[in-house]
Structure 1
């Protein structure tokens, strides 16, 4: 009988290999990236239960976010904990991404770190952070009033992204009809 590796089992497996991977050393490289991903699995495993993520201070957005630039895929429902803005700690992502689970609940699919650009200039990037051996994308304009110019790194830890684990949008995540933010009405 074949077994499917669920996200929870995948996280448990990551935890099991953490000590062996960590031996590779604390410096940059594949060993460090794998160890840091295992830290993220451990830190976010409890958030598989949506209520746990909310209790931990991640504020839900009421809308599902999809790629409005014409690409495919979505983020799902972002939940931000702005106490973790500027964090590059693998255990403290700024955002959790959830999708509808088809049963009236939410399922954790990914995480994001968000770091403010030091000089708030979209034309410079000398302060670009990196994690897991991957540079953050950006700098980007704020996505809502008051959000500063920032860098972002998405990690699709709990749902495979066919476009890549660090790609901004995940084509395997969809927004149900009526769950996305309405487009602004044109002014007359």
Structure 2
């Protein structure tokens, strides 16, 4: 198959997959508009698909604890409180414990709960109030499909590696 039709077919398939991930929480936004809104987020975080660059180049601190159905969180403290689509406070990865074995699956904005009257919003989505973190959070599963929805906090498709059982 010539290269150009193959590239076009791949682009159509990707666009179709993106359109299927929009959540019908309220009146469903136009998926095309939603992905246009998310384009700056996708392009600003795509460089971090290669896991070793996240902490080194972007100021994100690597973690070694995997949260089930979320993955490993890499947090940039400078971006806490940001509502800028290009600067999510956290990058979420799945994969193994070895450096370079993880792949980017989602991004997350984190806004500290300072007693504000209303939850923040971004992309027409209201942030979730996390009482444990004392913060409002919004996930966007833009690097891995989430069958539960694009902005849902947990993704059943994200698996943590099985930890070896200690022998003694």
Coarse TM-score class (shorter-chain normalised): 0.7 to 0.9
Tell me whether 1:106 sits opposite 2:102 in the alignment.
yes
Tell me whether 1:76 sits opposite 2:58 in the alignment.
no
Q: Which residue of 2 aligns with 1:21?
A: none
**Partner of residue 112 from structure 2, selected from 112, 116, 139:** 116
Question: Can you list the C-alpha shifts for 1:100-128, whole angstroms capped at 9, x where unaligned?
Answer: 17996110000100001222xxxxx6231
Q: Which residue of 2 aligns with 1:96?
A: 91
TM-score, normalising length: structure 1:
0.67
Q: Which residue of 2 aligns with 1:25?
A: none
Tell me whether 1:60 sits opposite 2:62 in the alignment.
yes
Counterpart contact for 1:86–1:113, Cα < 8 Å:
yes
Taking the aligned partners of 1:93 and 1:46, their CA distance within structure 2 comes to 14
- 1:1-188 residue pairs with structure 2 within 5 A? 5=10, 10=14, 30=30, 33-55=34-56, 56-66=58-68, 74-100=69-95, 105-119=101-115, 126-142=117-133, 149-178=134-163
Extract unaligned runs of 5+ from structure 1.
15-28, 67-73, 120-124, 143-148, 180-188
Taking the aligned partners of 2:42 and 2:118, their CA distance within structure 1 comes to 27
Q: Which residue of 2 aligns with 1:20?
A: none
Taking the aligned partners of 2:10 and 2:126, their CA distance within structure 1 comes to 29
Extract unaligned runs of 5+ from structure 2.
19-28
Taking the aligned partners of 2:114 and 2:155, their CA distance within structure 1 comes to 28
Q: What is the root-mean-square deviation in Å for CA atoms of aligned residues?
A: 3.0
Query: Could you tell me how far 1:61 is from its partner in structure 2?
Result: 1.1
The DSSP-based 3-state class of the residue aligned with 2:52 is: helix
Count of matched residue positions in the alignment of Structure 1 and Structure 2: 143
Taking the aligned partners of 1:170 and 1:155, their CA distance within structure 2 comes to 10
Q: Which residue of 2 aligns with 1:26?
A: none
